[in-house]
Structure 1
Amino acid sequence: MLKKRQKREALQGILYVLPSFILIIGFCVIPIFMSGYFSFTSYNIMTPPKFVGLENYMKVFQDSYVADAAKNTLLYVAMTVPIQTILALVFAAFLAYKMQTKTGGLLRSLMFIPVIASAVTAGTIWRIILNTDGGLLNSILNFLHIDSVNWLGSTKTALISICIVAIWKNVGYFLVIYYAGIMGISRDLYEAAKVDGATSIQQFFKITMPMLKPITYLVVTLGIIWSFQVFDLSYLMTGGGPGRSTVTLVMGIYNAAFKQYKMGYACAMAMLLLAIILVINLIENLFFKEKEAK
């Protein structure tokens, strides 16, 4: 009787998981292997793929466009991930410790609004705000007797502007994750620290941050993956310009696949992007393991 019940429960568990498993296999795993195969072929959708070996990969490593896209993407990741992680942690700690009121709940809701806004909406609004002629930000600067800045039209500021928008859009999501983690920390730890004479700052660095290591790992991992996949904001706000200053790897993949119809070449770029993400994720794992060992 017990075995039948265990088998029935196991079957129910499999049936619950099966739809998600099928979707993951169909829309994630299989496309990765297909991209790996097509990356070794010359394929333009209209004709059957022709095997060309490592030719696509050799072109990728020799292509200055891909080099610029990779550099921009790495700069984007380096700017957005640390800043949005730190801001989310600081804001979450402030709301958890100082704003346990209705006002705090309202602030959390307001900071989450950019997360649910579509990238098209966010990009369009910020493009208006950052517009050189008559944009809200430049109007404020002019009111303060400061010269207008060509935010999206200068190679020096275009990528930084996109990073600012991305941070504004993502920080609310990570704030909620951090806030939930902080609220899950036992209050007894803080009470004991107060008895020992620890200040609020000491409590933050000695209790809050160590207890949030698993959440920080999650936040950093998601931030890295999302940042490497950036396409929408760059495409909407600058179209990759001026020049190539805001071209990203995903934009390069899109252009190669759907504008130039070089599917094999686009797949080679996609596999390169996958390899970069995996290597950085491996480095991140080693970093957090070393921190835990200490």
Structure 2
Amino acid sequence: MNVVKNKWKDRAVFLSFVAPVILLILISAEIPFLMSLYYSFTKWNGISKNITFIGFKNFIELFTQDKDALKAFLFTVQFSVFNIIGTNVLALVFAVFLTKKLKLNNVLRAAFFVPYIVSLVIIGFIWKFIFSSAFTSLYNWTHWDFFNWSWLGTPNLAFVSVVLVSIWQSVGFYMMIYITGLQAIPSDLNEAAGIDGANSFQRFFKITLPLLIPSLTVALFMSISNSLKIFDIIFTLTFGGPGKSTTSTTMDIYSEAFVNNRFGYATAKSLVFVVIILIITFIQVKFFKSKEVEA
């Protein structure tokens, strides 16, 4: 009898700890998601009390008529490719360099990491000032044509500007992920390979990189999801311009909801985009997990 009583007591204690968390998840995530699922089948401006159920019309329009959505998605994919490659390559190079025994290691790590903890909105406004006013002043001083280019007014340069700012802001965070992974690799493996005659490049690509796959999996997972969801930097730096040349999918969804007042249609777009992100990240994690090796 006491055993049964203690069992129910343990369950009650467990439930008392878990129930508040489940309730908060339901309120903050699950219920809003279910509401969004409903709104995606409606015609609603986000303000009016009159919500009209229209079935799959939003999704049909998205896949058959909305050319702006396709253009925004193609920009998002293009941006993501350049941002993911640039961020992870630079982060890995910096991580390898900063795991060496250098006097300024801690200072350099902090310098690279600080931009990541600053709000993306602030970062965007800072770089908008740099590309406009600061570059103009530098051109007047140096007369270098590089500083006189229309960095935010030309589609190609605007794209480059967004990518550069995004890489500059996030590279320090991914660098720390790789530093943690590099420090977990046993040093005797590289030392043994060096004794056997392997040079530094061979040791890196044959030993270090395969053992760094777990860190690479995490870094790529986060960089893929963050790149696909890019919004803040574009919102403050170019607002999708010039024209709509730097309009990402998230910016397109924002415009539909809060500029065009098509809340139901924007919700349908966001749900489709969430599914795409889930599929891409699942494939990426599954692939890299299969490549992981143990030391």
What are the Cα deviations for residues 72-95 of structure 1, in whole angstroms up to 9, with x where unaligned?
111111110111011111111111
Q: Which structure 2 residue ranges, 5 or more long, are not aligned?
A: none
> Are 1:196 and 2:206 an aligned pair?
no
Q: 1:6 to 1:208 in 2, by over 3 A?
A: farther
> Are 1:143 and 2:146 an aligned pair?
no
Q: Find the residue that maps to 1:130 and give its secondary structure.
A: helix
Q: Using the alignment, how far apart are the partners of 1:249 and 1:290 within structure 2? A: 31
Using the size of structure 2 for normalisation, the TM-score is 0.88
Greater displacement, 217-226 / 272-281:
272-281
Using the size of structure 1 for normalisation, the TM-score is 0.88
The 8 Å contact of residues 221 and 285 in structure 2, kept in 1 or not, is answered as no
Q: Find the residue that maps to 1:239 and give its secondary structure.
A: coil
Q: Using the alignment, how far apart are the partners of 1:245 and 1:38 within structure 2? A: 29
Greater displacement, 7-16 / 251-260:
7-16
Q: 1:162 to 1:138 in 2, by over 3 A?
A: farther
Task: Letter of the 1:50 partner, please give it.
Answer: T
Q: 1:194 to 1:259 in 2, by over 3 A?
A: same
What are the Cα deviations for residues 166-185 of structure 1, in whole angstroms up to 9, with x where unaligned?
11111101111111111111
In structure 2, the partner of 1:219 is 219
Q: Find the residue that maps to 2:145 and give its secondary structure.
A: coil
Q: How does 1:114-129 map to 2 (within 5 A)?
A: 114-129=115-130
Q: Using the alignment, how far apart are the partners of 1:163 and 1:282 within structure 2? A: 24
The 8 Å contact of residues 130 and 138 in structure 1, kept in 2 or not, is answered as no
In structure 2, the partner of 1:281 is 281
Q: Which structure 1 residue ranges, 5 or more long, are not aligned?
A: none
Residue 201 of structure 1 and its aligned partner are, at CA, apart by 1.5
Q: 1:156 to 1:10 in 2, by over 3 A?
A: same
In structure 2, the partner of 1:250 is 250
In structure 1, the partner of 2:106 is 105
Greater displacement, 40-49 / 158-167:
40-49
Q: Using the alignment, how far apart are the partners of 2:56 and 2:224 within structure 1? A: 28
In structure 1, the partner of 2:160 is 160
Q: Using the alignment, how far apart are the partners of 2:183 and 2:7 within structure 1? A: 36
Q: 1:140 to 1:112 in 2, by over 3 A?
A: farther
Q: How does 1:1-294 map to 2 (within 5 A)?
A: 19-45=20-46, 46-61=48-63, 62-96=65-99, 98=100, 100-131=101-132, 134-136=133-135, 139=138, 143=142, 145-146=144-145, 148-289=148-289, 291-292=291-292
What are the Cα deviations for residues 23-63 of structure 1, in whole angstroms up to 9, with x where unaligned?
33332333222222211111223124222111001222211
The 8 Å contact of residues 138 and 149 in structure 1, kept in 2 or not, is answered as no
Greater displacement, 192-201 / 13-22:
13-22
What are the Cα deviations for residues 91-137 of structure 1, in whole angstroms up to 9, with x where unaligned?
111111x2x34401110000001001111221111111111xx4338
The 8 Å contact of residues 124 and 236 in structure 1, kept in 2 or not, is answered as yes
Q: 1:281 to 1:198 in 2, by over 3 A?
A: same
Percent identical: 36
Runs of 4+ in 1 over 3 A off after TM superposition: 1-25, 289-293
